[in-house]
Every structure is written in C-alpha cells, then in structure tokens.
Amino acid sequence: MSVPGVIIDASNVAATRKRPWPFSRVVGVRDAWLSKYPGAQAIAVLDATVRPFLDEQHLVRQAEREQWLEVHQGDADDRILALAAQFGAAVVSSDNFRFARREHAWLQGNNSRVWSVRRVEGKVIFSLRHLGIATDAEIERDRLHKLDKAGLLREDAEERFRCTDPAGSCLRRGVVLLPRQVNKDANRWYCRSCGYEAVEVVVEPPLPDVLEAGPVLVTVQHGYTVTRTVPVPAEGLTLGRASRSRPGTTDVTEGLDADRAAGISRSHLRIFLDDDGRPIAEHLPENNASFLNPELGFDGVPRTSRLAAATPYALEDGDELHLGPGTVRLRISNGAEPEGGYTA
C-alpha cells in the first residue's frame, strides 16, 4: 500500500436519505480530494456489511480493482482510525469518533485532521471538523452504544450475517441472517437463499438515521439555560441581536443584559443547509466572534476553535457553537419536533 494522505469513511460518505446509497458519492469525494491535493493518495474503507446497501456495484468493483477501496470484514471505524494513526493521514467522515478517544488521543480537541463533506449546488466542499473535548462519560456512553449496536451486549451469543448478493436479486439481501439461514464451508459462510457469500455482522452498518429523523434544530442557550429551539428552514437562518432594521434575524440575546448582548452582532451567524439538507455555519461580521466546540477556560470563556468570517463550517449532530464571549450557545441536533412545538 502506498502512503495515503487521507482515509475516506466510505459508508458515511455514501449514505443518503434513501437506500440504496450511490457509491458515486464516494468516487466524487475521492476525486475532489485528489483535485484539491494533487499527488496525494486516498484510501476508502467500507464495512463489508454495508456493501449490500450500495448502488452502482460496478463502481465498487472498479474501486477494488484500482486498489483504493478496502472492504473491511471487521469494524470499519477501527480500521479507518488505525490507518490514520499509522500514516498520520486525514480522515473524511462526519463521525465524532468519541468512542475511540481513549485509544486515539489525537482526536481529542482536534481541528486539523478530520473533515466533513458538504455539497453545495452540486460541488463537493471539504470542511475541517472541530471535534471538541469529549468527557469520560461521553466516551463511555458512545463506547457502550457502539458495542450494543454491534450486538456484543446481546444476551444471546448467536452470530449474525448479511448476504452479499451484488445483483440485488436475493430476497434476503441486506437482511440480518441467523446461523440457520447460512451454510458454512471451511471458514466461509453462504446465504441459503441464493448461494452468495454471507459476511458476519461484526458492527451494524451506520444507517442514516440522523438524515431521516427530522429537521435540523438549533437550541439556544444562555449558559446552560435553554431559551428556545428553532428549526432551520430551507432558506437558512440568521441569528444575532434584535434589531428593527433586521426583522429576518432570529434574536438570541433576549433576556441578556446590555454588556453581554453587546458581544453579539446584529447579524452574527448564518446557518443554512447544503444539497443533502446538512447544516453549515458561517460567521458573518469581522468583529465579535463565534466558536465551534471550543475548549473553555476556567472562566467559561472559549479559548479555541474560533471561526473565520465568511467561511463555511460543516455542523454535525451534537455540535455546539458559542457566540461572542460564550454566554450564548447554540446546540445543533437532527430530530423530531419537540413536545409543544418550537419556541418562538
């Protein structure tokens, strides 16, 4: 293997609102990276259990022949991070990788090696992630969630499999199979319905629940006190300090004293959606400040991860933006409408 400059999380990049997921999305991201960094090498890693969910299987096979796609039988996330650590490579994924922060300490607070992908008017845009510092409780929660998703916390010890029929004609394609639904030959398993090879489900594929769950929501906090929750409309959302001259701005300063509100510009931050409905943030004024998943000082003021003005930053589920001196916080989530509706 040549030394890769980037490891692409193929399952994560390919995922869309509807299945099957087009593998051409992975091809497009790789091509865009190589165009951005001429001479670089890019490797994509795909969880073998995800392969049945992919469309354009001819592109998958072509990528394997060209040896830039690795279809991994184990945990693809672990493989992605292992390759990134081995080669000092960047990672393209929207995953926060909180479950792996103990084994891969370089992820903690990293803002230089993990990239998200956004598509704006058909163009692929790379955005550096600001991962923030995960607490021990968050790391343990995500680690247990990952084990549960993998079936390692199940009370029964039965193995699970998926059929890899590339044509999509098998009635059980993509369905979890029990041992009685596969035949074993030496160290390989085959689907009883169609005869194609079946792979053991070590980790369930990352189905795009986040994309299907609902609108992008912005929860406004003053410190730790929630003041309102608003959805991001198709035309985007501008947040800032109330002004009669800007009726289209969502006020995030109501209830603050004048000194604290002064750190928020009238039009401070814009949040809009890309072609896939994924959120992007843009800090608007040259003065004042916005921070993404910052490390906080003892005084609670953000110390790191300040956003540059007029620069798009991809937002992922659970990200937190701090505006001005940090009193105003915006938490990003993808979910159903809260009980009682949205607060105005």
Question: Do 118 and 21 share a domain, yes or no?
Answer: yes
Structure tokens at 15: 């995922």
Q: Give residue-wise pLDDT tens across range 198-207.
A: 888 765 554 5
Question: Do 131 and 193 share a domain, yes or no?
Answer: no
Q: Give residue-wise pLDDT tens across range 283-296.
A: 999 889 999 999 88
| pTM for this prediction | 0.79
Question: Do 113 and 218 share a domain, yes or no?
Answer: no
Question: Do 121 and 224 share a domain, yes or no?
Answer: no
- Which pLDDT band, with edges at 50, 70 and 90, does 158 fall under? low
* Range of the structural domain that residue 80 is part of: 6-138
pLDDT at 304 > cutoff 80: yes
Number of domains in the chain: 3
Question: Do 239 and 329 share a domain, yes or no?
Answer: yes
The 3 state secondary structure assigned to 92-111 is: ECCCCCHHHCCCCHHHCCCC
Q: Give residue-wise pLDDT tens across range 174-192.
A: 677 888 888 888 878 898 8
Which range of 73-77, 176-180, 314-318 scores highest in mean pLDDT? It is 314-318
Q: What percentage of the chain carries pLDDT values higher than 70?
A: 89
- Which pLDDT band, with edges at 50, 70 and 90, does 208 fall under? very low
Question: Do 183 and 121 share a domain, yes or no?
Answer: no
What is the model's pLDDT at position 116? Answer: 96
Tell me the sheet residues that pair with 228: 220
Q: Are 312 and 328 in contact (CB under 8 A)?
A: no
Q: Give residue-wise pLDDT tens across range 328-344.
A: 999 999 865 554 555 55
Q: Which one, of 86, 97, 6, lies nearest residue 45 by Cα? A: 6
Query: What is the pLDDT of the chain when averaged over all its residues?
Result: 87
What is the model's pLDDT at position 341? Answer: 55
Given 138, 169, 192, the domain boundary residue is 138
Given 176, 200, 224, the domain boundary residue is 200
d(CA 172, CA 187): 21
In a domain, 181, yes or no: yes
What is the gyration radius of the CA atoms in the chain, in angstroms? 22
d(CA 161, CA 201): 5
pLDDT at 209 > cutoff 70: no
pLDDT at 153 > cutoff 50: no
Q: Would you give the distance in Å from CA 44 to the centre of its chain?
A: 16
